[in-house]
């Protein structure tokens, strides 16, 4: 299958498969993909298949082929799904946008960037190792850090109360951020969405 030319061709949302993890903080990447498919991207135009140990959605956006991927390998082995799919489709590292949760960002904050380290995130660490390249683009969704206790238990827990509302709003903003990357590029998306919620420019992207 031929991939799109130029810009982001593959959007990867990170998470863990299974209903027990569906609403956990660690599944922010999966949730953003679901928001995209639920209407942020043109509905009904992405066909689902199973490939590279993943749920894969293939369609067109702005007259170009676009692929969305939800690895089913569990977080620590995400790269074992992303690398084979990107190589099969001839997609370069810099043409991949990976969406993940981030402990170091407050709940509701987003951070877009090109390349960088894994930041202690095991999913990103696996992707870097399997691609042999850290140059892929990132969208990190803040989940906050626990006041105390085990971080593993924390990332596998869900939200409640005001945090749940804040996070739900963040997922909508994250999906719009992806749409902005696709339509206007990473720099425009960074300028708009890396600010605190409410501080970003009001210019709406096509």
Give the catalytic positions in this structure: 26
Instruction: Tell me if 105 sits within 8 A of 141, measured CB to CB.
Output: yes
Between strands 96-102 and 137-142, the pairing is parallel
Query: What DSSP string describes 37-94?
Result: IIIISPTT--EEEEETTEEEEEEEETTEEEEEEEE-S-GGGTHHHHHHHHHHHT--GG
Helix boundaries (H) for the chain: 28-35, 79-89, 122-131, 151-155, 161-184, 186-193
CA distance 171 to 55: 20
At residue 98, φ and ψ (nearest 5 deg) are -105, 130
CA distance 30 to 32: 6
CA distance 196 to 32: 18
CA distance 175 to 165: 16
CA distance 66 to 204: 22
């Amino acid at each position: 299958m031929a991939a799109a030319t130029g810009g982001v061709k593959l959007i990867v949302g990170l998470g863990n498969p299974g209903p027990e993890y569906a609403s956990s903080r660690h599944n922010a990447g999966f949730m953003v993909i679901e928001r995209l498919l639920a209407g942020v991207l043109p509905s009904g135009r992405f066909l689902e298949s199973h490939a590279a140990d993943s749920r894969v959605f293939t369609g067109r956006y702005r007259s170009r082929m676009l692929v969305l991927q939800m690895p089913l390998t569990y977080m620590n082995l995400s790269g074992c799904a992303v690398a084979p799919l990107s190589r099969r489709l001839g997609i370069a590292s810099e043409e991949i946008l990976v969406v993940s949760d981030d402990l170091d960002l407050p709940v509701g904050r987003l951070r877009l960037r090109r390349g960088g380290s894994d930041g202690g995130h095991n999913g990103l660490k696996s992707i870097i190792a399997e691609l042999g390249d850290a140059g892929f683009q990132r969208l990190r969704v803040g989940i906050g850090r626990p006041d105390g206790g085990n971080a593993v238990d924390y990332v596998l827990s869900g939200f409640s109360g005001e945090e749940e509302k804040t996070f739900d709003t963040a997922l909508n903003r994250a999906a719009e951020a992806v749409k902005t990357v696709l339509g206007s590029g990473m720099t425009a998306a960074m300028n708009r969405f890396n600010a605190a919620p409410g501080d970003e420019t009001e210019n709406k992207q096509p």
